[in-house]
Amino acid sequence: MGEVAQNLAWDAAATTISLDGISIEAMYRLNVGGQYISPTNDSEGLMRSWYDDTPYLFGASLGVANKADVPVSYKGLPEYTAPLDVYSTFRFMGPNANINKNFNLTLTFQVDPNFMYLVRLHWCDTEMTIFVPEHTAEHEPATL
């Protein structure tokens, strides 16, 4: 993870979203692979709750929760984006590459189909595909 984390970049221009004429509300904020982070432990005093991802995992493939053993550095990413624990905890497929080829880590969320949703992901991964049912998702999305 250390090697990958050193190559991550924050591109504010690529992440800008116009809020003109719309309202936005956080529906789910998860600490994948980590525990609940209370509002008093959120970054920069923003008082957000970050929930354990376990209730949202779907299927038999739960992955393995873990915590980074290398220091995490924001390097240009504003510290208020997420608490340090969000970037230092993670869930991975497991150590066996042959088994991982047929492995999916799936999280499910209840949403109202009559609304539009912004899906914002904070994570570090070297190989991924993101699927959002009935919608187009990037095969190789840009990551922070």
Is the pLDDT at 4 greater than 50, yes or no? no
Mean pLDDT for the stretch of residues 48-53: 95
The domain containing residue 7 runs over which residues? 1-11+25-144
The two tokens of residue 61 are: 């493939």
- HSE of 49, CA atoms in CB hemisphere, 13 A: 7
d(CA 83, CA 41): 8
Beta carbons within 8 Å of 15's beta carbon, 6+ residues apart: none
At 64, the pLDDT band (50, 70, 90 cuts) reads confident
Say how many domains are in the chain: 1
Query: In the chain, what percentage of residues exceed pLDDT 70?
Result: 72
The two tokens of residue 14 are: 């690529």
Question: Is residue 19 one of the residues assigned to a domain?
Answer: no
d(CA 60, CA 62): 6
The verdict on pTM exceeding 0.75 is no
pLDDT score of 120: 79
* Cβ(80)–Cβ(36) below 8 Å: no
